[in-house]
Structure 1
Amino acid sequence: MAAVLDSVRAYFAPSVFTIDTENPGDVVARENLLDRVMGPSRRRKSSERIRRGRLPAEGLALVARDRDNHVIGTVRLWNIEAGVNADATPINALLLGPLAVETLFEGKGVGSALMRAAVLEAKNRGHGAILLVGDAPYYERFGFFAEKAQHLVMPGPFERSRFLALELVEGWLDGAAGMIIPSGRLLASAAVRRAA
């Protein structure tokens, strides 16, 4: 992860912000940022159904920090099964989201830096594909397109034109069809509830 963060730091002005791995002390700041930027409806999105009760994929929860070490941006990726292939074998992938940047720092490259670091780290960790629900004009510059997600569905309402995918390994999503389901690590409290 250090090499990824160093390359992102070199690309963007380190005096404005840095990209770092999220730590437990960032939880409250991250949640407050998401509430401010995305509003209360963020918890009703289809993507949230996949994230609920889960931990992000190992090493794939990132934050942007300002010069005073405050969290000004966040992105997380989650382990999922992206339907199945033609042989009915589940396809392991990641779901990206939410990506959010403090309003004061919009247009300063924070979101782009978080995206580039997240995609690079996912690739370095051997993941094959990333899916997300978001604005195509923004995410297409990072290689995300609707074509590879066209036969996949989210567990709840979603806009087909905003359901995008990026293959980190060419052909990873070939033939992918079906429902996106979570496959990542459970939060400790979710595991206790499930066992009861």
Structure 2
Amino acid sequence: MFDISQETPSDWWEVEALYDLCFAPGREALSSYRLRDGVDKVADLSLVARDADGTVGGAIRYWPIRIGDGTDAPRALLLGPVAVHPTHQGEGLGGLLIADSLDRARHLGWDRVMLVGDAPYYGRFGFERLDGVEMPPPTNPDRVLGLPLRDGAWDGITGQVLRDL
């Protein structure tokens, strides 16, 4: 049993330690991190899951982005990173964090979300490859995935993914 709640400033060290444990040492060199530099995460959607002992077993964060140039460029959420402590992997906690946070995003009025990840894993949540949406290099275009939170939310949206300051 896990208690899922919004990440607080006091959770920061535990969440960062979890990300360090779950991802390669060079994780912050990835192109998706350039989109996070100097941008506040979406606090309402950045969640932690604590087990019965109060230990962080999983975490998920979201960041605001824009697709295309100009102040009227469509906004979206960038999902990631999401991580589950190795002792809780295979229990469905990652899926629970993703499903819960996507539901919260819909209720908060967000229209679309994207990520860079494994299509077979994220496809079960409805994510599909985004053609014409360009992540900063080096990013494999086959791993650029999107999910409309409203019908047609990705229709006709193309261009470079940029930070939303």
TM-score normalized by the length of structure 1: 0.80
- Residue of structure 2 equivalent to 1:153: 134
SS of structure 2 residue aligned to 1:63: strand
Cα distance in 1 for residues equivalent to 2:32 and 2:89: 23
Shift of 1:83: 2.5
- Residue of structure 1 equivalent to 2:55: 70
Count of residues paired in the alignment: 164
- Residue of structure 1 equivalent to 2:112: 129
Higher Rg? 1
Looking at secondary structure, tell me which structure has more helix per residue. 1
- Residue of structure 2 equivalent to 1:25: 10
Which amino acid is 2:146 matched to?
A
Consecutive unaligned residues of structure 1, counting only runs of 5 or more, are 1-15, 185-196
Cα distance in 2 for residues equivalent to 1:36 and 1:58: 22
Q: How does 1:142-181 map to 2 (within 5 A)?
A: 142-146=125-129, 149-181=130-162
Cα distance in 2 for residues equivalent to 1:18 and 1:42: 27
Please say which of residues 152-161 and 104-113 is displaced more in the overlay: 152-161
- Residue of structure 2 equivalent to 1:13: none
Match of 1:102 among 85, 103, 110: 85
CA RMSD, Structure 1 to Structure 2 (Å): 1.4
User: Identity of aligned pairs, percent?
Assistant: 40
- Structure 1 ranges of 4+ moved more than 2 A: none
Shift of 1:89: 4.3
Residue pair 2:7, 2:43 contacting (<8 A) in 1 also: no
Cα distance in 1 for residues equivalent to 2:58 and 2:43: 19
Consecutive unaligned residues of structure 2, counting only runs of 5 or more, are none
Cα distance in 2 for residues equivalent to 1:59 and 1:47: 20
